[in-house]
Protein backbone atom coordinates (compact mmCIF):
# COMPACT_ATOMS: atom_id res chain seq x y z
CA UNK A 1 0.00 0.00 0.00
CA UNK A 2 0.98 3.65 -0.37
CA UNK A 3 1.56 5.40 2.92
CA UNK A 4 3.24 8.37 4.56
CA UNK A 5 5.62 7.59 7.41
CA UNK A 6 8.68 8.76 9.29
CA UNK A 7 11.59 7.12 11.12
CA UNK A 8 12.72 10.16 13.11
CA UNK A 9 11.29 13.40 14.40
CA UNK A 10 11.85 16.68 12.63
CA UNK A 11 10.44 19.15 10.09
CA UNK A 12 7.82 17.70 7.76
CA UNK A 13 9.88 18.28 4.62
CA UNK A 14 12.84 16.46 6.12
CA UNK A 15 11.25 13.41 7.75
CA UNK A 16 7.94 12.56 6.05
CA UNK A 17 8.35 9.81 3.46
CA UNK A 18 5.80 8.78 0.83
CA UNK A 19 6.13 5.26 -0.52
CA UNK A 20 5.14 1.62 -0.34
CA UNK A 21 4.65 -0.24 2.94
CA UNK A 22 3.26 -3.75 3.59
CA UNK A 23 -0.53 -4.09 3.51
CA UNK A 24 -1.95 -4.58 7.03
CA UNK A 25 -4.28 -7.44 7.95
CA UNK A 26 -6.90 -7.37 10.71
CA UNK A 27 -5.99 -9.29 13.86
CA UNK A 28 -8.54 -10.73 16.27
CA UNK A 29 -11.03 -8.03 17.23
CA UNK A 30 -9.88 -5.70 14.45
CA UNK A 31 -11.25 -4.34 11.20
CA UNK A 32 -9.34 -3.45 8.03
CA UNK A 33 -10.35 -0.07 6.61
CA UNK A 34 -9.73 1.13 3.09
CA UNK A 35 -8.94 4.73 3.99
CA UNK A 36 -10.70 7.45 2.00
CA UNK A 37 -9.59 10.45 4.05
CA UNK A 38 -7.14 11.26 6.85
CA UNK A 39 -7.37 14.27 9.16
CA UNK A 40 -4.25 16.27 10.05
CA UNK A 41 -4.58 17.66 13.56
CA UNK A 42 -2.20 19.91 15.53
CA UNK A 43 -1.37 16.92 17.73
CA UNK A 44 -0.24 15.00 14.64
CA UNK A 45 2.24 17.64 13.55
CA UNK A 46 3.50 18.12 17.12
CA UNK A 47 4.07 14.37 17.44
CA UNK A 48 5.96 14.26 14.13
CA UNK A 49 8.07 17.26 15.17
CA UNK A 50 9.00 15.53 18.45
CA UNK A 51 7.14 17.98 20.65
CA UNK A 52 5.09 15.35 22.49
CA UNK A 53 6.93 12.02 22.87
CA UNK A 54 10.02 10.08 21.86
CA UNK A 55 9.74 7.70 18.92
CA UNK A 56 7.93 4.52 19.99
CA UNK A 57 8.55 2.44 16.85
CA UNK A 58 11.21 2.23 14.13
CA UNK A 59 8.68 3.65 11.66
CA UNK A 60 5.49 5.59 12.37
CA UNK A 61 2.50 6.19 10.10
CA UNK A 62 0.88 9.39 11.44
CA UNK A 63 -2.69 10.64 12.01
CA UNK A 64 -5.45 9.41 14.29
CA UNK A 65 -8.53 10.65 12.46
CA UNK A 66 -9.85 9.27 9.21
CA UNK A 67 -12.75 7.72 7.38
CA UNK A 68 -13.34 4.95 4.88
CA UNK A 69 -14.95 1.59 4.31
CA UNK A 70 -14.38 -1.66 6.23
CA UNK A 71 -12.89 -4.15 3.77
CA UNK A 72 -12.25 -7.12 6.08
CA UNK A 73 -12.67 -8.15 9.72
CA UNK A 74 -10.69 -10.29 12.12
CA UNK A 75 -11.95 -13.09 14.33
CA UNK A 76 -14.58 -11.98 16.80
CA UNK A 77 -15.91 -9.12 14.65
CA UNK A 78 -19.32 -9.36 13.00
CA UNK A 79 -18.72 -10.11 9.28
CA UNK A 80 -21.73 -7.93 8.52
CA UNK A 81 -19.49 -4.92 9.17
CA UNK A 82 -17.69 -5.51 5.86
CA UNK A 83 -18.72 -2.69 3.53
CA UNK A 84 -19.66 -0.36 6.40
CA UNK A 85 -18.76 3.34 6.11
CA UNK A 86 -16.87 4.42 9.25
CA UNK A 87 -14.91 7.21 10.88
CA UNK A 88 -11.99 6.67 13.24
CA UNK A 89 -10.53 8.05 16.46
CA UNK A 90 -7.36 7.42 18.51
CA UNK A 91 -5.69 5.37 15.76
CA UNK A 92 -2.19 6.80 16.18
CA UNK A 93 -2.14 6.32 19.95
CA UNK A 94 -1.12 3.68 22.45
CA UNK A 95 -3.91 1.63 24.03
CA UNK A 96 -4.11 3.96 27.04
CA UNK A 97 -4.25 7.01 24.77
CA UNK A 98 -1.27 8.67 26.44
CA UNK A 99 1.46 7.94 23.91
CA UNK A 100 2.04 7.71 20.19
CA UNK A 101 1.27 4.49 18.39
CA UNK A 102 3.05 3.08 15.34
CA UNK A 103 0.18 3.13 12.85
CA UNK A 104 -2.12 5.87 11.61
CA UNK A 105 -4.55 6.80 8.89
CA UNK A 106 -2.03 8.41 6.52
CA UNK A 107 -2.15 5.31 4.34
CA UNK A 108 -4.36 3.47 1.88
CA UNK A 109 -5.28 0.87 4.53
CA UNK A 110 -5.29 0.66 8.32
CA UNK A 111 -6.17 -2.19 10.69
CA UNK A 112 -7.62 -1.00 14.02
CA UNK A 113 -9.69 -2.24 16.95
CA UNK A 114 -13.31 -2.61 15.92
CA UNK A 115 -14.48 -0.07 18.52
CA UNK A 116 -12.32 2.61 16.89
CA UNK A 117 -14.31 2.29 13.65
CA UNK A 118 -17.48 4.28 14.29
CA UNK A 119 -20.44 3.87 11.89
CA UNK A 120 -20.69 6.97 9.71
CA UNK A 121 -24.17 8.44 9.20
CA UNK A 122 -25.24 8.34 5.55
CA UNK A 123 -25.58 12.10 5.21
CA UNK A 124 -21.92 12.75 6.17
CA UNK A 125 -19.18 12.56 3.54
CA UNK A 126 -15.70 11.16 4.04
CA UNK A 127 -13.95 14.55 4.00
CA UNK A 128 -16.07 15.88 6.88
CA UNK A 129 -15.78 12.53 8.67
CA UNK A 130 -12.00 12.87 8.91
CA UNK A 131 -12.55 15.93 11.12
CA UNK A 132 -14.57 14.13 13.79
CA UNK A 133 -12.16 12.08 15.89
CA UNK A 134 -10.21 14.84 17.63
CA UNK A 135 -12.13 18.08 16.90
CA UNK A 136 -15.74 16.95 17.25
CA UNK A 137 -15.15 14.53 20.11
CA UNK A 138 -13.18 17.20 22.00
CA UNK A 139 -15.91 19.78 21.43
CA UNK A 140 -18.62 17.39 22.59
CA UNK A 141 -16.69 16.34 25.70
CA UNK A 142 -15.74 19.89 26.68
CA UNK A 143 -19.29 21.15 26.30
CA UNK A 144 -21.50 18.29 27.48
CA UNK A 145 -19.55 16.10 29.93
CA UNK A 146 -21.11 18.04 32.81
CA UNK A 147 -24.67 17.75 31.59
CA UNK A 148 -27.13 19.36 29.17
CA UNK A 149 -26.82 23.00 28.15
CA UNK A 150 -30.42 23.59 27.09
CA UNK A 151 -31.33 27.20 27.91
CA UNK A 152 -27.79 28.05 29.05
CA UNK A 153 -25.41 30.75 27.88
CA UNK A 154 -22.11 29.46 26.51
CA UNK A 155 -18.73 31.13 26.06
CA UNK A 156 -16.44 29.50 23.48
CA UNK A 157 -12.87 30.78 23.31
CA UNK A 158 -11.28 30.45 19.90
CA UNK A 159 -14.61 29.96 18.15
CA UNK A 160 -13.15 29.82 14.64
CA UNK A 161 -10.77 26.98 15.44
CA UNK A 162 -11.51 23.38 14.51
CA UNK A 163 -12.79 22.52 18.00
CA UNK A 164 -14.35 25.92 18.72
CA UNK A 165 -16.35 25.90 15.50
CA UNK A 166 -17.82 22.51 16.30
CA UNK A 167 -18.45 23.48 19.94
CA UNK A 168 -20.59 26.39 18.70
CA UNK A 169 -22.51 24.08 16.37
CA UNK A 170 -23.05 21.45 19.07
CA UNK A 171 -24.13 24.08 21.61
CA UNK A 172 -26.67 25.42 19.13
CA UNK A 173 -27.97 21.88 18.47
CA UNK A 174 -28.13 21.20 22.22
CA UNK A 175 -30.43 24.15 22.85
CA UNK A 176 -28.08 26.77 24.29
CA UNK A 177 -29.88 30.08 24.69
CA UNK A 178 -26.94 32.24 23.61
CA UNK A 179 -23.39 31.53 22.42
CA UNK A 180 -20.61 34.12 22.50
CA UNK A 181 -17.08 33.50 21.29
CA UNK A 182 -13.64 35.07 21.20
CA UNK A 183 -11.80 35.39 17.89
CA UNK A 184 -8.64 37.05 16.59
CA UNK A 185 -9.85 38.61 13.32
CA UNK A 186 -12.90 39.84 11.43
CA UNK A 187 -12.68 36.84 9.10
CA UNK A 188 -12.80 34.47 12.05
CA UNK A 189 -15.70 36.41 13.54
CA UNK A 190 -17.70 35.84 10.35
CA UNK A 191 -16.99 32.10 10.55
CA UNK A 192 -18.12 31.91 14.18
CA UNK A 193 -21.31 33.83 13.50
CA UNK A 194 -22.12 31.57 10.55
CA UNK A 195 -21.71 28.57 12.86
CA UNK A 196 -24.31 29.94 15.28
CA UNK A 197 -22.59 32.31 17.69
CA UNK A 198 -24.69 35.34 18.61
CA UNK A 199 -21.62 37.53 19.02
CA UNK A 200 -17.87 37.36 18.45
CA UNK A 201 -15.39 39.48 20.43
CA UNK A 202 -11.87 40.15 19.15
CA UNK A 203 -9.46 39.33 21.99
CA UNK A 204 -6.46 40.41 19.92
CA UNK A 205 -7.76 43.98 19.88
CA UNK A 206 -8.83 44.02 23.53
CA UNK A 207 -6.27 41.81 25.24
CA UNK A 208 -7.08 39.24 27.93
CA UNK A 209 -8.17 41.56 30.73
CA UNK A 210 -10.84 43.95 31.92
CA UNK A 211 -11.72 45.24 28.45
CA UNK A 212 -12.31 41.74 27.16
CA UNK A 213 -14.31 40.84 30.30
CA UNK A 214 -16.57 43.85 29.82
CA UNK A 215 -17.02 43.17 26.11
CA UNK A 216 -17.93 39.52 26.73
CA UNK A 217 -20.48 40.41 29.40
CA UNK A 218 -21.95 43.12 27.17
CA UNK A 219 -22.24 40.58 24.36
CA UNK A 220 -24.20 38.36 26.74
CA UNK A 221 -26.68 41.06 27.70
CA UNK A 222 -24.78 42.00 30.84
CA UNK A 223 -25.12 38.49 32.26
CA UNK A 224 -22.46 35.96 33.21
CA UNK A 225 -22.13 32.69 31.34
CA UNK A 226 -23.16 29.22 32.50
CA UNK A 227 -20.48 27.23 30.72
CA UNK A 228 -17.20 27.81 28.91
CA UNK A 229 -15.42 25.76 26.24
CA UNK A 230 -11.80 26.89 26.38
CA UNK A 231 -8.91 26.56 23.93
CA UNK A 232 -6.29 28.30 26.11
CA UNK A 233 -6.51 27.63 29.83
CA UNK A 234 -3.41 29.66 30.71
CA UNK A 235 -4.81 32.74 29.02
CA UNK A 236 -8.39 32.57 30.26
CA UNK A 237 -8.48 30.77 33.61
CA UNK A 238 -8.20 33.87 35.76
CA UNK A 239 -10.70 35.76 33.61
CA UNK A 240 -13.18 32.92 33.82
CA UNK A 241 -14.16 33.56 37.45
CA UNK A 242 -15.26 37.06 36.38
CA UNK A 243 -17.43 35.92 33.46
CA UNK A 244 -18.94 32.65 34.73
CA UNK A 245 -21.94 32.28 37.01
CA UNK A 246 -21.52 30.74 40.46
CA UNK A 247 -21.25 27.01 39.81
CA UNK A 248 -20.14 27.49 36.20
CA UNK A 249 -18.03 24.96 34.31
CA UNK A 250 -14.87 25.40 32.25
CA UNK A 251 -14.28 22.60 29.74
CA UNK A 252 -10.69 23.16 28.65
CA UNK A 253 -8.58 21.17 26.22
CA UNK A 254 -5.35 23.16 25.67
CA UNK A 255 -3.02 25.73 27.22
CA UNK A 256 -0.53 26.61 24.53
CA UNK A 257 0.14 30.21 25.55
CA UNK A 258 1.19 29.15 29.05
CA UNK A 259 1.61 25.42 29.76
CA UNK A 260 2.29 26.16 33.46
CA UNK A 261 -0.20 28.91 34.32
CA UNK A 262 -0.49 30.68 37.64
CA UNK A 263 -4.05 30.25 38.88
CA UNK A 264 -5.84 32.75 41.11
CA UNK A 265 -7.39 30.04 43.28
CA UNK A 266 -9.83 31.81 45.59
CA UNK A 267 -12.06 33.58 43.04
CA UNK A 268 -12.53 30.20 41.34
CA UNK A 269 -13.16 28.42 44.63
CA UNK A 270 -15.56 31.00 46.02
CA UNK A 271 -17.59 30.85 42.82
CA UNK A 272 -17.59 27.03 42.87
CA UNK A 273 -16.17 26.92 39.35
CA UNK A 274 -15.61 23.42 37.99
CA UNK A 275 -12.51 23.01 35.82
CA UNK A 276 -13.05 20.10 33.46
CA UNK A 277 -9.79 19.02 31.81
CA UNK A 278 -10.48 17.23 28.53
CA UNK A 279 -7.93 14.78 27.14
CA UNK A 280 -10.05 13.21 24.43
CA UNK A 281 -7.43 10.56 23.68
CA UNK A 282 -7.59 9.01 27.14
CA UNK A 283 -11.08 7.89 28.13
CA UNK A 284 -12.65 4.72 29.48
CA UNK A 285 -14.20 2.56 26.72
CA UNK A 286 -17.74 3.37 27.86
CA UNK A 287 -16.95 7.08 27.90
CA UNK A 288 -15.51 6.89 24.39
CA UNK A 289 -18.77 5.31 23.27
CA UNK A 290 -20.80 8.04 24.97
CA UNK A 291 -18.81 10.73 23.14
CA UNK A 292 -18.75 9.23 19.65
CA UNK A 293 -22.41 8.24 19.85
CA UNK A 294 -23.16 11.80 20.93
CA UNK A 295 -21.27 13.16 17.93
CA UNK A 296 -23.20 10.81 15.66
CA UNK A 297 -26.52 12.06 17.04
CA UNK A 298 -25.60 15.62 16.05
CA UNK A 299 -24.50 14.38 12.61
CA UNK A 300 -27.71 12.43 12.12
CA UNK A 301 -29.69 15.59 12.83
CA UNK A 302 -27.71 17.44 10.17
CA UNK A 303 -26.44 19.94 12.75
CA UNK A 304 -22.69 19.33 12.53
CA UNK A 305 -20.60 20.46 9.56
CA UNK A 306 -16.83 20.56 10.14
CA UNK A 307 -15.19 23.42 8.30
CA UNK A 308 -12.58 22.28 5.80
CA UNK A 309 -9.61 24.54 5.15
CA UNK A 310 -8.31 22.41 2.31
CA UNK A 311 -7.71 18.91 1.00
CA UNK A 312 -4.45 17.34 -0.14
CA UNK A 313 -3.40 14.14 -1.87
CA UNK A 314 -1.53 11.57 0.21
CA UNK A 315 1.76 12.40 -1.54
CA UNK A 316 1.20 16.04 -0.51
CA UNK A 317 1.37 15.24 3.21
CA UNK A 318 4.30 17.59 3.74
CA UNK A 319 2.23 20.54 2.49
CA UNK A 320 -0.71 19.44 4.65
CA UNK A 321 1.48 19.32 7.77
CA UNK A 322 3.01 22.68 6.97
CA UNK A 323 -0.44 24.20 6.51
CA UNK A 324 -1.46 23.09 10.00
CA UNK A 325 1.81 24.35 11.48
CA UNK A 326 1.29 27.76 9.85
CA UNK A 327 -1.67 28.45 12.13
CA UNK A 328 -3.39 30.22 9.26
CA UNK A 329 -5.98 27.59 8.44
CA UNK A 330 -9.70 28.18 8.93
CA UNK A 331 -11.00 24.71 9.65
CA UNK A 332 -9.56 21.26 9.18
CA UNK A 333 -6.81 20.03 6.88
CA UNK A 334 -7.69 16.73 5.21
CA UNK A 335 -5.78 14.24 3.07
CA UNK A 336 -7.76 12.34 0.43
CA UNK A 337 -6.74 9.01 -1.09
Closest CA to 181 of 138, 142, 144, 225: 225
Do residues 150 and 23 both lie within one domain?
no
Task: Out of 238, 261, 277, pick the residue that ends a domain.
Answer: 277
Q: What percent of the chain has pLDDT over 70?
A: 100
Do residues 258 and 207 both lie within one domain?
yes
The answer to the question of residue 231 being in a domain is yes
3-state secondary structure of 36: strand
The answer to the question of residue 292 being in a domain is no
Rounded CA gap, 102 and 61, in Å? 6
What pLDDT does 303 receive? Answer: 97
Do residues 42 and 146 both lie within one domain?
no
Over residues 245-257, the mean pLDDT reads 96
Do residues 245 and 325 both lie within one domain?
no
Closest CA to 77 of 39, 113, 104: 113
Do residues 100 and 164 both lie within one domain?
no
The answer to the question of residue 40 being in a domain is yes
Helices (H), 2-122: 12-15, 42-49
Q: How many CB atoms lie within 10 A of CB 7?
A: 11
Do residues 238 and 192 both lie within one domain?
yes
Over residues 231-255, the mean pLDDT reads 97
Instruction: List residues bridging with 86 in a β-sheet.
Output: 68, 119
Rounded CA gap, 81 and 72, in Å? 8
The answer to the question of residue 33 being in a domain is yes
CATH of residue 111's domain is: 3.90.180.10
The answer to the question of residue 293 being in a domain is no
Over residues 120-145, the mean pLDDT reads 97
Do residues 124 and 189 both lie within one domain?
no
Do residues 8 and 114 both lie within one domain?
yes
Binned at pLDDT 50, 70 and 90, residue 97 comes out as: confident
Q: What is the pTM of this model?
A: 0.95
What pLDDT does 98 receive? Answer: 85
Do residues 120 and 156 both lie within one domain?
no
Of 43-57, 120-134, 234-248, the one with minimum mean pLDDT is 43-57
The answer to the question of residue 287 being in a domain is no
Rounded CA gap, 329 and 22, in Å? 33
Q: How many structural domains are present in the chain?
A: 2
Rounded CA gap, 294 and 141, in Å? 9
The answer to the question of residue 37 being in a domain is yes
What pLDDT does 53 receive? Answer: 82
Over residues 187-202, the mean pLDDT reads 97
Do residues 153 and 255 both lie within one domain?
yes
What pLDDT does 56 receive? Answer: 86
Do residues 31 and 84 both lie within one domain?
yes
Q: What is the pLDDT of residues 48-91, one digit of tens each?
A: 999 878 888 999 999 999 999 999 999 999 999 999 999 999 99
The answer to the question of residue 325 being in a domain is yes
Do residues 112 and 140 both lie within one domain?
no
Range of the domain at 10: 2-131+306-336
Q: What percent of the chain has pLDDT over 90?
A: 94
What pLDDT does 8 receive? Answer: 96
b/e for 199-227, b at 16 or more Cβ within 10 A?
A: bbbebeebebeeebeebbbebbeeebbbb
Q: What is the pLDDT of residues 272-281, one digit of tens each?
A: 999 999 999 9
Binned at pLDDT 50, 70 and 90, residue 217 comes out as: very high
Amino acid sequence: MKAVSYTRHGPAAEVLEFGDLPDPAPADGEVLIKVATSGVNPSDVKARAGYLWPMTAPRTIPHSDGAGVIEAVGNGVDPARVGERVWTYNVNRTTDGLGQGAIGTAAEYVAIRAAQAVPLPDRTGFVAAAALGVPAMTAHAALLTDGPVDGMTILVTGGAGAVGSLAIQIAKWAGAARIVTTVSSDAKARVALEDGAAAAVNYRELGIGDELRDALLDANGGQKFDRMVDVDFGAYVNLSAQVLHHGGVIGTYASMSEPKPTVDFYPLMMNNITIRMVEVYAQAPARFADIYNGVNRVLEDGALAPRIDGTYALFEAVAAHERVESGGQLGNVIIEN
